[in-house]
């Protein structure tokens, strides 16, 4: 009986101890869970507002401006401004001529300025030295080519519609009165008009606004096409 009573007492004590430990453990677990919950929520919040390691955020999501539209790169030419204007055609030009202010001493024409006006509705380009011939019998079919000497350098001259370029012709001057004479002993020649051939721009017959092209030795010195009228 004594042993049975001791066993009963021991069993009761074990039950009390188990009961006493149970609530304490539950409270501790609840407290731990309560403490851990905010931490987990903060972590979840932080995870939703910041990219995960190694991820890339979208610029659109950050409100970045859209990429600019593409277009011609800086300095590129477009449309009609691209490239040089084509060479002037013979039909694009109208020629005129007058005596130059600066000319050799003598009684002949001495020197003449030939102008070429762009009468077309588009820009075109002139370049180079002309050929020169006297129009015999007043017509280009009876030309007398003159020996041409070049002076100065050549450069392309772009003519807008209505624009103008010039060439200066300097002749071997006629001397003396009346029909005059040539220092070389040759006979002076007078042409009512000249025919000038321009590279890629055809041939053009032109007469002086006053008088004739009187010259000696069938020689002429010519500039290339110029953008500014010479004297």
At residue 33, φ and ψ (nearest 5 deg) are -65, -40
Arithmetic mean of pLDDT over the chain: 74
Is pLDDT of 87 > 70? yes
Q: Which domain holds residue 9?
A: 1-34
Q: Does residue 58 lie within any of the structural domains? A: no
Residue 99 CB-density burial (10 A; 0-12 exposed, 13-18 middle, 19+ buried): middle
Encode pLDDT of 128-175 as tens digits. Answer: 999 999 987 655 566 899 999 999 999 999 999 999 999 999 999 999
Q: Does residue 56 lie within any of the structural domains? A: no
Interacting residues of 84 by C-beta distance below 8 A, sequence separation 6+: 125, 156, 158
Residue 182 contacts residue 188 (beta carbons within 8 Å): yes
Domain count, the chain: 2
Q: Does residue 152 lie within any of the structural domains? A: yes
Q: How confident is the model at residue 29 (pLDDT cuts 50, 70, 90)?
A: very low
Question: Which residue would you say has higher pLDDT here, 209 or 51?
Answer: 209
Question: Which residue would you say has higher pLDDT here, 101 or 141?
Answer: 101
pLDDT of residue 28: 39
Q: Does residue 51 lie within any of the structural domains? A: no
Q: Does residue 67 lie within any of the structural domains? A: no
Q: For the ranges 11-25, 84-98, 216-230, which has the lowest average pLDDT?
A: 11-25
Whether pTM exceeds 0.75: no
Is pLDDT of 31 > 80? no
Are 98 and 17 within one domain? no
Question: Which residue would you say has higher pLDDT here, 56 or 221?
Answer: 221
Q: How far apart are CA 221 and CA 207, in angstroms?
A: 18
Distances from the Cα of 181 to the Cαs of 104, 147, 190, 218, in angstroms? Answer: 15, 19, 12, 13
Q: Does residue 43 lie within any of the structural domains? A: no
Q: For the ranges 15-29, 70-84, 135-149, 210-224, which has the lowest average pLDDT?
A: 70-84
Is pLDDT of 63 > 50? no
pLDDT of residue 105: 96
Are 30 and 131 within one domain? no
Q: Does residue 17 lie within any of the structural domains? A: yes
Q: For the ranges 48-57, 134-143, 197-206, which has the lowest average pLDDT?
A: 48-57
Are 213 and 116 within one domain? yes
Is pLDDT of 117 > 90? yes
Q: Does residue 71 lie within any of the structural domains? A: no
Domain CATH for 194: 2.60.40
Are 206 and 99 within one domain? yes
Find the mean pLDDT for residues 8-14.
Answer: 38
């Amino acid at each position: 009986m004594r042993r049975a009573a001791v066993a009963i007492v021991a069993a009761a004590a074990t039950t009390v101890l188990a009961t006493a430990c149970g609530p304490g453990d539950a409270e501790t677990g609840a407290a731990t869970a309560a403490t851990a919950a905010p931490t987990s929520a903060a972590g979840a919040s932080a995870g939703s507002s910041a990219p995960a390691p190694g991820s890339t955020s979208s610029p659109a999501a950050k409100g970045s401006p859209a990429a600019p539209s593409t277009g011609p790169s800086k300095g590129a030419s477009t449309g009609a401004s691209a490239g040089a204007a084509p060479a002037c055609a013979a039909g694009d030009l109208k020629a005129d001529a007058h005596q130059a202010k600066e000319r050799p001493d003598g009684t002949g024409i001495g020197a003449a300025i030939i102008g070429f006006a762009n009468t077309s509705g588009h820009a075109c380009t002139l370049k180079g030295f002309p050929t020169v011939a006297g129009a015999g019998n007043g017509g280009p079919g009876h030309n007398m080519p003159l020996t041409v000497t070049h002076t100065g350098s050549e450069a392309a001259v772009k003519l807008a519609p209505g624009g103008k370029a010039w060439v200066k012709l300097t002749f071997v001057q006629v001397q003396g009165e009346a029909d005059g004479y040539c220092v070389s002993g040759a006979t002076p020649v007078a042409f009512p008009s000249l025919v000038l051939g321009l590279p890629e721009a055809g041939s053009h017959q032109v007469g002086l606004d006053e008088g004739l092209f009187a010259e000696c030795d069938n020689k002429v010195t010519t500039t290339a096409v110029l953008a500014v009228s010479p004297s």
